[in-house]
Amino acid sequence: MEKIIKIAWRNVWRNKLRSLVVITSMVLGLWSGLFTIAMSNGINEQRVKSAIDTYLHHIQIHNPLFEYNLDINSSVEDPLQILKELENNNLVKGFSSRIIISAMASSAHGAEGVRVIGIDSENEKQFSDISKNILKGNYFSNIKSKPALIGQKLADNLKLDIKKKLSFTFVDDKGDLQRIKFKVEGVFKTASSIHDSGNIYVKKEDLNQLLFNNSMIHEVAILCNNIDDSDILKQELQNSFPENKVETWKDISPELGSVQELMVWFFFIFMSIILLALSFGIANIMLMAVLERKRELGMLMSVGLNKTKIFLMILFETIFISFISLPVGIVLSYLMISYYGRAGIDLSIVSQGLESFGMNSMVYTHLPSDYYFKITILTLFVTLVSSLFPARRALKLDPAEAVRSQ
Amino acid sequence: MNVIETKNISKLYKQADLEIRALDNVSVNFKQGEFTAIVGPSGSGKTTFLNSIGGLDSPTKGQVLIDNNDITQLNSNKLIDFRLKNIGFVFQSYNLIPVLTAKENVEFIMLMQGVSNKIRDKRSKELLEAVGLQEHLNRRPNQLSGGQQQRVAVARALASKPKFVLADEPTANLDSSSTSNLLDIMYRLNNDEKMTFIFSTHDQRVIDRAKRIITLEDGKIISDTNIK
Ligand SMILES: Nc1ncnc2c1ncn2[C@@H]1O[C@H](COP(=O)(O)OP(=O)(O)OP(=O)(O)O)[C@@H](O)[C@H]1O
Ligand SMILES: [Mg+2]
């Protein structure tokens, strides 16, 4: 057995060029596959992260009616109890309570339906990415009276700029129509242009003054210390406050979560296709190696090498090739993926298109470490299967025939 | 005592409508210690005959008895095992495993037979010395001349301590000095160690040194002469 392995190993290097071509193609196949997947995975993770950081957060609490009617009176029940509970819960990293009013925003150039979100500016600075997304102007610092932050898309649509005035028209909690003027202090831009076209941030106290019930809130957004605790915390809160609706980010934006699950399938299907193509290459080259060594294999059978050993020899030759390619391919991929995971790849040329899908123009490649392990198993399996065919062909050789053909 | 005994062996090859009788009712015996040449024109059935008694090919009809056991009844895995234990082969070319050194090639068969490391080492050196290659133990086949390669092949054939050695035109690719050198070695092994050699050849110089000459024509034995 030891000798068979030794012969197989040396056979790999008999035709150096050919073996190197196979090894190189395997390395390139693995690398390109893993890198592409790391890129799409990175894009997706960024998309999720950016959505979570700017508007989704880990958990949101609303009045169950709120998402249907967006009625100002569908506010969160027991708001004070909830905030107290969140203060003391050790799964919670931070939270923010917001007033949300559906309004018509108008400028001299037109009007748009928007959500006016009243936030606690100091708390929100820590809690969400809103302050980091300011493109122009400031985040609640200069303008004293009724400042507002608007999305870039909305600013374009209403031809607004910083220091310009805009007014909201809305129905208050007593059913009266109100109209009130705000002044644009900053323009923000997130990865999602849909978000940027429909949301306006103002100070919570500015909205409070307009309302009859000044303790009402419409949304409590929560960040957990660990995103994986979202479901546990959701259950806890739902049980404690059954009259409210508690949702995780996956409940609110199921497409984001399901894309992540799809990634796993995408990974396997994509890599399987690449490996399948490679395995045909390997099988073909090994078959050539068998056929051109007919005489030698015939001689080996004549002098007493049995079929099992011939079979194993060919099998080992194939396996060795993948044993060389696999670590090289994986290490190369790992290095590239970690490098571009830090440095990022600039896709700004096509970013116009990407951003409307909620993507960032910088892509940071990332592949969870268990994928490297999975690909190793998958590759070993595929090469093993692809070696069976040439190895079986070797068994069909008739020693008398093989020895005869001079 | 006969080492090999063939009883009416025939080998038919069917090609389209044509039936080729490569061997036609051949009955012949070989004793321990023979040094026999199989001669005859091209296509007369020499290779077919050697392959039949070596268990590489099975005759269509008849029996091949090695030490009174009929090898035509063995299945292919048993045959491989039988060849490994009983027969040394020397072919016209491609005798050696290209990726192994001369010494490793000789040891290879013994390794398959499960001979211990120490004995393998000793015996392979002895055998390579016997064929005059003690200087070239660690060369690979492509670093040896054709004649040297055939000598390694003879050493390898003997390594398993076979009952007999079959050589199909072992000198066909050799020049005359390599040929006589190889024959000297085979002759000496035959005389000193009583090793049985059966070889096919076209070469008159090889025929001249045989102790028995069997002539085939159209798959039949037309003469069988002992030379003293
Ligand atoms: N696989 C085969 N199929 C059909 N016919 C074959 C086959 N092998 C050999 N023959 C035929 O059998 C006959 C004997 O062939 P064999 O090779 O034994 O002759 P040989 O005496 O060894 O010839 P040479 O001196 O050329 O080596 C020839 O007519 C050959 O064409
Ligand atoms: Mg022949």
Nearest partner of B157 among B202, B123, B191, judged by Cα: B123
Element (H, E) at B176: helix B176-193
CA B171 distance to own-chain centroid: 12
- Contacts with A261 (C-beta within 8 Å, 6 or more apart), sequence order: none
Contact between B156 and B108 (Cβ < 8 Å): yes
The mean of the pLDDT values for chain A is 88
Q: Is A292 within 8 Å of chain B by CB?
A: no
Q: How far from A372 is each of A32, A37, A44, CA to CA, in Å?
A: 13, 11, 18
Packing angle between helix B176-193 and helix B146-159, nearest 10 degrees?
Answer: 20
Residues of chain B positioned with their CB less than 8 A from the CB of A296: 94, 97-98
Contact between B3 and B163 (Cβ < 8 Å): yes
Nearest partner of B200 among B175, B173, B169, judged by Cα: B169
CA A112 distance to own-chain centroid: 32
Q: Chain A: nearest CA to B160, how far in angstroms?
A: 10
**3-state secondary structure at position B44:** coil
Give the C-alpha separation, A294 to B80, whole Å.
Answer: 17
**Ligand 2 ion: Cβ-proximal residues, 5 Å cutoff:** B 46-47
Q: What residue owns the CA closest to ligand 1's atom 27?
A: B42
Supply the pLDDT for residue A281: 86
Nearest partner of B157 among A92, A304, A214, A90, judged by Cα: A304
pLDDT tens column, A201-237? 999 999 998 888 888 999 999 999 988 899 999 999 9
* Strands laid side by side in the B35-39 sheet: B87-90, B164-168, B196-200, B35-39, B212-217, B220-226
Amino acid (one-letter) located at A12: V
Element (H, E) at B206: helix B204-209
Cβ of A300 within 8 Å of Cβ of B56? The answer is: no
Residues of chain A positioned with their CB less than 8 A from the CB of B80: 301, 304-307
Supply the pLDDT for residue A354: 57
Give the C-alpha separation, A304 to B55, whole Å.
Answer: 11
Supply the pLDDT for residue A16: 86
Give the C-alpha separation, A240 to A78, whole Å.
Answer: 11
With tokens 């109890």, the residue in question is A81
Segments of chain A scoring below 50 in pLDDT: none
Contact between A310 and A398 (Cβ < 8 Å): no
Cβ of B76 within 8 Å of Cβ of A307? The answer is: yes
Atom nearest to B41 CA in ligand 1: 25
Helical segments of B35-171, H only: 46-53, 76-86, 102-112, 117-130, 146-159
Assembly ipTM: 0.85
Contact between A135 and A78 (Cβ < 8 Å): no
Find the A290 Cα to ligand 1 centroid distance in Å: 24
Q: How far from B163 is each of A215, B190, B197, CA to CA, in Å?
A: 106, 12, 9
Cross-strand partners of B29: B5
Per residue of chain B (228 residues), what is the pLDDT tens digit? 789 999 999 999 888 888 889 999 999 999 999 999 999 999 999 999 999 999 988 899 999 999 888 999 988 888 888 888 899 999 888 788 888 899 999 998 888 888 888 999 999 998 898 888 899 999 999 999 988 998 899 899 888 888 899 999 888 888 888 888 888 888 988 998 889 999 999 999 899 999 999 999 999 999 999 887
Give the C-alpha separation, A189 to A94, whole Å.
Answer: 23
Supply the pLDDT for residue A263: 82
Burial B134-160 (b: 16+ CB within 10 A, else e): eebbebbbeebebbbbbbbbbbbbbbb
Give the C-alpha separation, B66 to B64, whole Å.
Answer: 6
Give the C-alpha separation, B188 to B195, whole Å.
Answer: 9
Cβ of B94 within 8 Å of Cβ of A300? The answer is: no
Q: What residue owns the CA closest to ligand 1's atom 16?
A: B45
Find the A336 Cα to ligand 1 centroid distance in Å: 60
Q: Is B197 within 8 Å of chain A by CB?
A: no
Contact between A219 and A137 (Cβ < 8 Å): no
Nearest partner of A194 among A348, A51, A97, A72, judged by Cα: A51
Find the B27 Cα to ligand 2 centroid distance in Å: 19
Question: pTM higher than 0.80 for the full model?
Answer: no
With tokens 């396997």, the residue in question is A268
With tokens 């949101």, the residue in question is A60
Give the C-alpha separation, A89 to B31, whole Å.
Answer: 98
Give the C-alpha separation, A195 to A143, whole Å.
Answer: 24
Q: What residue owns the CA closest to ligand 1's atom 26?
A: B42
Return the HEC string of chain A: CHHHHHHHHHHHCCCHHHHHHHHHHHHHHHHHHHHHHHHHHHHHHHHHHHHHHHHHCCEEEECCCHHHHCCCCCCCCCHHHHHHHHHHCCCEEEEEEEEEEEEEEEECCEEEEEEEEEECHHHHHHHCCHHHHEEEECCCCCCCCCEEEEEHHHHHHCCCCCCCEEEEEEECCCCCEEEEEEEEEEEECCCCHHHHHHEEEEEHHHHHCCCCCCCCCCEEEEEECCHHHHHHHHHHHHHHCCCCEEEEHHHHCHHHHHHHHHHHHHHHHHHHHHHHHHHHHHHHHHHHHHHHCHHHHHHHHHCCCCHHHHHHHHHHHHHHHHHHHHHHHHHHHHHHHHHHHHHCEECHHHHHHHHCCCCCCEECCCCCHHHHHHHHHHHHHHHHHHHHHHHHHHHCCCHHHHHHCC
Radius of gyration of chain A, Cα coordinates, nearest whole angstrom: 31
Residues of chain A positioned with their CB less than 8 A from the CB of B51: 400, 403-404
